[in-house]
């Protein structure tokens, strides 16, 4: 959690310095498996290694979100965690996914909203969090600061 929250805040701070009167939203999503952070893959080999790790296992997706309005002294950071259970994926299906979908811009090398969804057995938590923004929690936090904007 601290890792995703830290990077969401760093992203938001960078943009808020350029737009101090605006509400800036920063987010960062990571995948954790066996106490290891899986970010975006470096290349197709890295994608294959990540997907092999996740195959047949449960992992967590953590998204850190920061809302900042510099001139109004608003700074709120939170994170959401979702457990994702992946069925065992045959090697040829992992290769198919890597060769036909963009895995390079996704933490853990997959997008739950695309073809990869056929391998998701179940999730425990917010689906939208796995996509990169926990919508319900975001709206709750946003609503609480709305009157200060």
For the question of residue 95 being annotated catalytic, the response is: no
Percent of the chain with pLDDT over 90: 95
Residue 61 has phi, psi (to 5 degrees) of -115, 125
Q: Which pLDDT tens digit goes with each residue over 110-143? A: 999 999 999 999 999 999 999 999 999 999 999 9
The predicted pLDDT at position 1 comes to 65
pLDDT band of residue 149 (cuts 50, 70, 90) is confident
- Dihedral (Cα; 73, 7, 141, 124), 10-degree rounding: -170
d(CA 122, CA 100): 23
| DSSP code of residue 95 | H
Residue 22 has phi, psi (to 5 degrees) of -100, 155
pTM of the model: 0.92
Q: Which pLDDT tens digit goes with each residue over 79-100? A: 999 999 999 999 999 999 999 9
The predicted pLDDT at position 33 comes to 97
Catalytic residue, from 28, 43, 46, 105: name it: 28
| DSSP code of residue 40 | S
Q: Mean of the pLDDT values across residues 43-54?
A: 97
């Amino acid at each position: 959690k601290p890792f995703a929250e830290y990077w969401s805040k760093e992203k938001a701070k960078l943009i808020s310095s350029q737009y101090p009167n605006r509400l800036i939203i920063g987010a960062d999503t990571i995948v954790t498996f066996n106490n290891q952070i899986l970010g975006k893959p470096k290349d197709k080999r890295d994608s294959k290694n990540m997907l092999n790790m996740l195959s047949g296992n449960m992992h967590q997706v953590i998204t850190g979100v920061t809302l900042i309005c510099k001139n109004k002294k608003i700074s709120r950071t939170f994170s959401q965690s979702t457990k994702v259970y992946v069925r065992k994926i045959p090697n040829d299906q992992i290769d198919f996914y890597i060769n036909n979908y963009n895995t390079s811009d996704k933490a853990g090398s997959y997008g739950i909203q695309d073809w990869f969804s056929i391998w998701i057995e179940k999730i425990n938590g917010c689906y939208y969090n796995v996509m990169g923004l926990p919508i319900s929690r975001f709206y709750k936090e946003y609503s609480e600061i709305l009157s200060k904007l």
